[in-house]
Amino acid sequence: MTPSSSSTMTGGIATARGFQAAGISAGIKATGKPDIALVVSDTPAAAAAMFTLNKVQAAPVLVSKEHLAKSGGVVRAIVINSGCANACTGDTGLADARTMAAETAKLVGCPTEHVLVASTGVIGVNLPMDKLKNGIPEAFAALSGANGSRAAQAIMTTDPFPKESCVTLIAGGKTITIGGMAKGSGMIGPDMAPSATMLAFVTTDAAVPQALLQRALVEVVDETFNAISVDGDTSTNDAVVLLANGASGATIGEADYPQFMKALHDVCLELALGIVRGGEGATKLVKVTVSGAVSVGEARTTAKAIATSLLVKTAIHGGDPNWGRLLAVAGRAGVAFDPSRAKVTIGPTVLFADGRPYDDRAPEAAAYLKGRDVVVGVDLGAGDKTSAVWTCDLSAEYVKINAEYRT
């Protein structure tokens, strides 16, 4: 590690200089748990963002995209509610998302298009706007550089714990902070950019030109939020937003870009893996690596097929070193390879190679699968490209959570 490398620290969305956050309970959730989060930059920040590619896009996604287009990528605040997704809610939903932004803009003292909106929760129900109209000023009053964790709690739905991450790095002799928060537990699938009922917000006090910021976000999301899966499903409300307000006095240019990228990657990967660890009913974090592929795309396709296979996820849940399921899923992933050259590993143990099983090693692999973090791998024996994705096991608890989510 060079002295300029990044280092991890405790912190989150409001740790970078010039950012404040709040999380309060407005009564949108019947449980009374926190359900409105607010993030404000003291000065206009450059913003990069990625939204769900689902054809069905929630009102807050449509409004946020509209605002970014209008502002040219300048953001002062993000207002987020949990407990209601404001998706499939028609014209009323659109008007409600606009009102959320307008109410926030009024308090912050900025143009409405400098406010982004995000929502997460049940689809097809209109927002309780009276609660939001009371809650937003309450959140504004609670804004503080020390309230990042409260914001991280307020964006949770079925998440078992909040997700926060923070790193610092030195660039141009100045300390830069990158911190963030994320939520997501179910409806997390890797076939979008970004994917899942996943909300992730990252702030930095570096100054980064907007085009460079967007490039950084796209690259990092591909290897982090886009490389995770809980249930292979994807949402109408996904959003990842990265704000850079320059309060540190340091500017990231091409020279510092690799170092900035590494730090941003660290923050986003920690948030993404937090989502998987907290996946609905999850008891294990599973890294799926596919190597020996002709292209990174084919490696990724195969890894995703394995990471979303119910048979693989239930076998790992049961601690069963069922390498045959890994190979069978690779075989139906639509990627060409010769099974007799393929290799299947569970942890450090090779269970299939040279066209034949090594079943005497199954007890060793079964012992390994008792761990909480496990790695399974398929080498296709067809090339030299690799990809990794992360998923969790599938438990009876997952079914329970999702069969009872609304009722």
Work out whether 332 is an interface residue with a second copy (CB under 8 A): yes
Q: For residue 297, what are the contacts with CB-CB under 8 A and spacing of at least 6?
A: none
Work out whether 247 is an interface residue with a second copy (CB under 8 A): no
Helix (H, G, I), strand (E, B) or coil at 352: strand
Cβ at position 313, least distance to a second copy in Å: 9
Cβ at position 368, least distance to a second copy in Å: 14
Work out whether 294 is an interface residue with a second copy (CB under 8 A): no
Read off the amino acid at residue 158. T
Binder among 209, 319, 347, 383 for a second copy (CB under 8 A)? 319
CB atoms under 10 Å from CB of 1, counted, come to: 6
- How far apart (Å, rounded) are the C-alpha atoms in residues 111 and 43? 13
Catalytic status, residue 197:
yes
Cβ at position 200, least distance to a second copy in Å: 18
Within 180-219, the residues that bind a second copy by CB under 8 A are: 186-187, 189, 191-192
Work out whether 323 is an interface residue with a second copy (CB under 8 A): yes
Mind giving me the DSSP string for 46-60? EEEEEE---SS--HH
Work out whether 296 is an interface residue with a second copy (CB under 8 A): no
Cβ at position 63, least distance to a second copy in Å: 16
Work out whether 359 is an interface residue with a second copy (CB under 8 A): yes
Work out whether 370 is an interface residue with a second copy (CB under 8 A): no
Binding part of the chain for a second copy, among 15-23, 109-117, 123-131, 244-252 by CB under 8 A, reads 123-131
Binder among 234, 259, 345, 349 for a second copy (CB under 8 A)? 234
Query: How many residues make contact with a second copy (CB under 8 A)?
Result: 72
- How far apart (Å, rounded) are the C-alpha atoms in residues 67 and 117? 9
Cβ at position 165, least distance to a second copy in Å: 27
Cβ at position 207, least distance to a second copy in Å: 36
Within 142-171, the residues that bind a second copy by CB under 8 A are: none
Report how far apart, in Å, the C-alpha atoms of 146 and of each of 10, 149, 308 are.
Answer: 12, 8, 38
Work out whether 311 is an interface residue with a second copy (CB under 8 A): yes
Cβ at position 127, least distance to a second copy in Å: 13
Instruction: Give whichever of 12 and 186 is closer to a second copy, judged by the CB atom.
Output: 186
- How far apart (Å, rounded) are the C-alpha atoms in residues 101 and 108? 10
Asked if 397 contacts 230 with a C-beta cutoff of 8 angstroms, the reply is no
CA quadruple 90, 96, 98, 101: dihedral positive or negative? negative
Work out whether 405 is an interface residue with a second copy (CB under 8 A): yes
Instruction: Give whichever of 66 and 233 is closer to a second copy, judged by the CB atom.
Output: 233
- The catalytically annotated residue of 89, 99, 158, 197 is 197
Binding part of the chain for a second copy, among 7-15, 101-109, 254-262, 396-404 by CB under 8 A, reads 396-404
Work out whether 327 is an interface residue with a second copy (CB under 8 A): yes
Q: Which of 211, 213, 212 is nearest to 202 (CA)?
A: 213
Q: Would you say how long the chain is, in residues?
A: 407
What phi, psi does 270 have (nearest 5°)? Answer: -65, -40
Work out whether 402 is an interface residue with a second copy (CB under 8 A): yes
Long-range contacts of 111-115 (CB under 8 A, 24+ apart): 111/71, 112/67, 113/66, 113/67, 113/70, 113/71, 114/44, 114/67, 114/71, 114/74, 114/75, 114/76, 114/77, 115/67, 115/75, 115/76, 115/77, 115/78, 115/79
- How far apart (Å, rounded) are the C-alpha atoms in residues 161 and 172? 36
Q: Is 150 left (phi over 0), alpha (psi -120 to 50) or beta?
A: alpha
Within 60-119, the residues that bind a second copy by CB under 8 A are: 85, 87-92
Binder among 137, 145, 339, 347 for a second copy (CB under 8 A)? 339
Asked if 287 contacts 388 with a C-beta cutoff of 8 angstroms, the reply is yes
Work out whether 340 is an interface residue with a second copy (CB under 8 A): yes
Binder among 315, 346, 389, 392 for a second copy (CB under 8 A)? 315
Q: For residue 224, what are the contacts with CB-CB under 8 A and spacing of at least 6?
A: 265, 268, 269, 271, 272
Cβ at position 403, least distance to a second copy in Å: 3
CA quadruple 284, 271, 38, 78: dihedral positive or negative? negative
Site track for a second copy across 20-59, x = CB under 8 A: ---------------------------------xxxxx--
Catalytic residues: 197
